[in-house]
Amino acid sequence: MTPELIVTLGKHALEVTLIMMSVLLLPALAVGLLVSILQAATQINEMTLSFIPKLLVTAVALVFGGSFLLRILTDYTIRLFESIPALAH
C-alpha cells in the first residue's frame, strides 16, 4: 500500500462524508438562519423556537434524502470492497 493510495482512500471517505452531511446540515442551517432573523426582528429569545424547527427540517431531509444517502454509502462501500484485492499487492 503506497502513501498515495492511502491519501486517495482518505480523500474519497471525506468526500462521501461531506456529501452525506451536507444533505442534512444545509437545510438545518437555512432554517436556523431564518429563525434567528425572526427572533432578532421580534426579540423573542426562546431556545425551543430555534431547536424544534431545525429538528423537524432535519427529520424531513432525512426522510426525503435517505435513499440518496443510502445509495452514496453503499456505492462507496462496494467500491471499497472491490478495491481490496488491489490494495493487497
Backbone angles phi, psi at 43, to 5 degrees: 55, 35
Within-domain flag for 28: yes
CA 27 – CA 16 distance, rounded (Å): 18
Within-domain flag for 13: no
The identity of residue 83, as a single letter, is S
CA 85 to chain centre: 29
Domain total for the chain?
Answer: 1
Closest CA to 61 of 33, 24, 19: 24
Within-domain flag for 47: yes
Q: What is the DSSP letter of 83?
A: T
pLDDT tens track for 10-59: 999 999 999 999 999 999 999 999 999 998 898 888 877 888 999 999 99
Within-domain flag for 8: no
pTM of the model: 0.77
Residue 72's domain spans which residues?
Answer: 23-87
Closest CA to 70 of 29, 15, 19: 19
